[in-house]
A and B are shown apart, each in its own frame.
Chain A
Amino acid sequence: MPFQRKDLLGIRDLEVHEIEHILELAFSLKEINSRTIKKVPTLRGKTVIHLFYEASTRTRTSFDIAAKRLSADTFSITASTSSLTKGETFLDTVKNLEAMKPDIFIIRHSASGTPHRIAQRTPVAVINAGDGMHEHPSQALLDMMTIRQFKGRLDGLNVLIVGDIAHSRVARSNIWGLTKMGSRVIACAPRTLLPPHLESLGVQVASRLEEAIPHADVIMVLRLQKERQEQKLLPSLREYAVQFGVNAQRLSHAKKDVLIMHPGPINRGVEISPDVADGPHAVILDQVTNGVAVRMALLYLLGQNQP
């Protein structure tokens, strides 16, 4: 039973064998992206709709490229963030689109759980492209693919996640995925940026980067939104950069083969210094490359499961 789901909503629901299956498929599909003719007929005749209630450039482009390389027809709809201000509820929007007989919805929404609520109400396959502070499963899968590419494994690794974990769906999906696959996840951030009861997700908390960096096989640096300062979660971006910025000096205590990852977009000089972002340990652009392969795998699996 490799993958029988109607939807891909989050990493938390996935079994280890399902994650394995997606990653293996992604590795085998990745080769298509290096061909001169980057297209296979796998999803010919399938219709994919991007339904984005929140701004996104790279995720939407990545999904769109993935779908087109599998020969699916793709359409993009950018909807207002709040259905209330728009006058049409999100379910009405979904039902209208559903009536046009698409095969897959790729949904991003600023409100946690919205892809789940849509998936419960439509026969169309739903891929969660990021919901609120909840999950971003394709990002975690591409992160796991990238770690496996460079480390050859996921089990037994120490993965340090640095930054705004409280507001991060990327962090949550990675925590679920990495702990399922046998990694140890350590979180480091000022306490105002850690969600309450983080330990209940199986994560260790380190208050200082200096304690955590020497043990890390992978350091995932999260984007720090400037609005966190306005929300008084931080005194200043400067203090954040000084106390929690990943820079060359701090990395001098890291393992020789440490990987530096970032889901993008990067705030150079805030959470990560330019020399680290562009340095030999960074695999940030490899993550982007793997993103297309992972999304091809997801579209392939859900497209195949469609009646």
Chain B
Amino acid sequence: MQQEGFASFLLRQARVLDPEHHRDETADILVSGGILKEITPHLNIRETGLSNIQEIDLKGKWVAPGFVDMHVHLREPGEEYKETIESGTRAAVAGGYVAVACMPNTHPVNDCAAVTRFILDRARERASCHVFPVAAITLGLQGNDLTQMGELREAGAVAVSDDGRPVMDSMTMRRAMEYSRTFNLLVISHAEDLSLAEKGVMNEGPTSTLLGLRGIPAAAEEVMIARDILLSQLTGAPVHIAHVSTEGSVSLIRNAKNLGIQVTAETAPQYFTLTDDALMEFNTVFKVNPPIRRLRDVEAIKRGLADGTLDAIATDHAPHSSLEKDTEFEYAANGVIGLESALPLALGLVREGILSPLETVAKLSRNPARILGIPLGSLETGKPAHLTVIDPEAAHVLDAETFQSKSRNCPFHGWKVQGQVLMTVVDGRIAFTRLNL
């Protein structure tokens, strides 16, 4: 984290949303010396005994615990032309995030302590927010040999995943769940049966048939989620399902939770916002894995968010340059960037009546923090201040050209949306703001 002096500031009369403490009320928040000092209905500045307090009027605005994105790709080391830890975390704070968990499919793969330490060192020097490395489950993401998870945990990894690839061999996945549990490392499952997905480049359905593109059936995701739920039950190890995209997946996870199996799950804005009709012009910006699905899947994802089946909203922020995207559809890389567009899309769920403001905040902050076991996602007085200030109404047009990310593969570019991040406070410092302070 960059070192700067701490400012004292008083956030006046915002709607404070803190799901951990069931708080949803108008209050003043005092931050001083990097610490969240007070949350109180009305604070008299003189009573604080502090001078040089900047007062920020936030009537009609929301203050939430700083957001946590449990699924991003920062591309460093190895693909710094797409994103770096520096640019990716700048994008993160612009999107309201105070922490991101970065996936291990870098070059080299984060499958050893040296790479984990490199990421954390680089983050300490250049990052605008906290970075929590997710290490690989298997060496080189090859699906064969387990990584040295004990050492990875000690180096600072918070979870393991072969994200981008599944662990196809069921016994390897069983061993991974058992072994990682020893070190309290969460297994995050990229659920995709590669033999069923074959060479698919989009969702299998009427649109893939119409476009003559090979499809990835929903079953390719669902059979692996079913397997990993059963392995979680077998081993007693918790499992987290990344980027849930289908109706059947939601239903499998819901049933597993009802049975008391320790499964958690995330989805991403593209899966509750887009349908595969978006591919009709062969626009590669919509090419992502898992693929965007059908309307009934989108509706099921929303129901899953509403009833708590889906715990977290992540972004799967996956930066790519024009080299990977400005190509034939079949050859284009999978992935969309999401850090700087997630909030307004998540607020769309509030406007639709699917989630309450408090539930939305929980899925963006508290729940991912709890799943990863990191001490964020709640407003704790006396602790370092991690805050996200939101204007829930601000109407604007998403313009990827203005994003902090190095990449431009945003499927929502040009969308008229409502809701904007006004300020992100990381460790008591203003890491990003749109306010004239």
Contact, CB under 8 Å: A198 / B209: yes
Write the nearest CB–CB distance from B106 to chain A, whole angstroms.
21
User: Scoring B residues 175 to 207 as 1 if CB is less than 8 Å from chain A, else 0, what string do you get?
Assistant: 000000000000000000000000000001110
Is B47 engaged at the interface, CB distance under 8 Å to the other chain? Answer: no
Contact, CB under 8 Å: A134 / B211: yes
Contact, CB under 8 Å: A113 / B209: no
Contacts of A172 in B (CB 8 A): 210, 212
Contacts A12-B210, A201-B209 known; A196 to B330 CB distance under 8 Å? Answer: no
Contact, CB under 8 Å: A111 / B326: no
Contact, CB under 8 Å: A112 / B282: yes
Contact, CB under 8 Å: A116 / B281: yes
Contacts of A112 in B (CB 8 A): 211-213, 282, 329-330
Write the nearest CB–CB distance from A45 to chain B, whole angstroms.
32
Contact, CB under 8 Å: A109 / B212: no
Contacts A120-B281, A197-B206 known; A114 to B328 CB distance under 8 Å? Answer: yes
- Complex Cα distance, B332 from A91, in Å, reads 13
Contacts of A89 in B (CB 8 A): 323, 326-327
| Chain A, 192-250, CB within 8 A of any chain B CB | 195-198, 200-201
- Complex Cα distance, B330 from A116, in Å, reads 13
Is B264 engaged at the interface, CB distance under 8 Å to the other chain? Answer: no
- Give the one of A82, A135, A195, A198 with max B CB within 10 A: A195
Q: Considering only CB atoms, which chain A residue lies closest to B323 in the complex?
A: A89
Contact, CB under 8 Å: A196 / B205: yes
Write the nearest CB–CB distance from B140 to chain A, whole angstroms.
22
In which size bucket is the chain A interface?
20 to 34
Contacts of A201 in B (CB 8 A): 206, 209-210
- Complex Cα distance, B212 from A109, in Å, reads 13
Contacts of B329 in A (CB 8 A): 111-114, 117
Q: Considering only CB atoms, which chain A residue lies closest to B202 in the complex?
A: A112
Q: Considering only CB atoms, which chain A residue lies closest to B215 in the complex?
A: A196
User: Scoring A residues 168 to 203 as 1 if CB is less than 8 Å from chain B, else 0, what string do you get?
Assistant: 010010000000000000000000000111101100
Interchain Cβ contacts within 8 Å, total number: 74
Is B415 engaged at the interface, CB distance under 8 Å to the other chain? Answer: no
Question: Which listed residue, B209, B217, B326, B331, touches A82 by the CB 8 Å rule?
Answer: B331
| Chain A, 81-104, CB within 8 A of any chain B CB | 82-84, 89-91
| Chain A, 101-136, CB within 8 A of any chain B CB | 109, 111-114, 116-117, 120, 131-135
- Complex Cα distance, B326 from A91, in Å, reads 8
Question: Which listed residue, B212, B282, B326, B327, touches A169 by the CB 8 Å rule?
Answer: B212
- Complex Cα distance, B205 from A200, in Å, reads 9
Q: Considering only CB atoms, which chain A residue lies closest to B283 in the complex?
A: A117
Contacts of A131 in B (CB 8 A): 212
Question: Which listed residue, A109, A169, A196, A200, touches B328 by the CB 8 Å rule?
Answer: A109
Q: Count the B residues whose beta carbon is within 8 Å of the partner chain — how many? A: 21
Contact, CB under 8 Å: B212 / A83: no
- Complex Cα distance, B282 from A95, in Å, reads 19
- Give the one of A83, A91, A132 with max B CB within 10 A: A132
User: Scoring B residues 204 to 238 as 1 if CB is less than 8 Å from chain A, else 0, what string do you get?
Assistant: 11101111111101000000000000000000000
Write the nearest CB–CB distance from A194 to chain B, whole angstroms.
9
- Complex Cα distance, B208 from A111, in Å, reads 13
Contact, CB under 8 Å: B328 / A113: yes
| Chain B, 310-369, CB within 8 A of any chain A CB | 323, 326-331
- Complex Cα distance, B201 from A114, in Å, reads 14
Contacts of B206 in A (CB 8 A): 196-197, 200-201
Contact, CB under 8 Å: B212 / A84: no
Contacts of A84 in B (CB 8 A): 327, 331
Contact, CB under 8 Å: B282 / A116: yes
Question: Which listed residue, B204, B212, B327, touches A135 by the CB 8 Å rule?
Answer: B212
Contacts A91-B326, A196-B205 known; A132 to B331 CB distance under 8 Å? Answer: no
Contact, CB under 8 Å: B212 / A196: no
Question: Which listed residue, A90, A111, A133, A196, touches B204 by the CB 8 Å rule?
Answer: A196
- Complex Cα distance, B211 from A89, in Å, reads 22
Contacts of A133 in B (CB 8 A): 212-214
User: Scoring B residues 389 to 403 as 1 if CB is less than 8 Å from chain A, else 0, what string do you get?
Assistant: 000000000000000
- Complex Cα distance, B208 from A135, in Å, reads 13
Write the nearest CB–CB distance from A35 to chain B, whole angstroms.
38
Write the nearest CB–CB distance from A161 to chain B, whole angstroms.
14
Write the nearest CB–CB distance from A53 to chain B, whole angstroms.
9
- Complex Cα distance, B209 from A12, in Å, reads 13
Contact, CB under 8 Å: B213 / A113: yes
Q: Considering only CB atoms, which chain B residue lies closest to A171 in the complex?
A: B212
Write the nearest CB–CB distance from A242 to chain B, whole angstroms.
27
User: Scoring B residues 271 to 283 as 1 if CB is less than 8 Å from chain A, else 0, what string do you get?
Assistant: 0000000000110
**Residues in chain A within 8 A of chain B (CB atoms):** 12, 82-84, 89-91, 109, 111-114, 116-117, 120, 131-135, 169, 172, 195-198, 200-201
Other contacts beyond A111-B328, A172-B210: 9, CB < 8 A: A89-B327, A91-B326, A113-B328, A134-B211, A134-B212, A135-B212, A196-B217, A197-B209, A201-B210
Q: Which are the 4 A-B pairs with shortest beta-carbon distances?
A: A134-B212, A113-B282, A133-B212, A111-B328
CB pairs A–B below 8 angstroms (23 shown): A89-B323, A89-B326, A90-B327, A91-B326, A109-B328, A111-B328, A111-B331, A112-B211, A112-B212, A114-B328, A116-B281, A116-B282, A132-B212, A132-B330, A133-B212, A133-B214, A172-B210, A195-B208, A195-B209, A196-B217, A200-B206, A200-B209, A201-B209
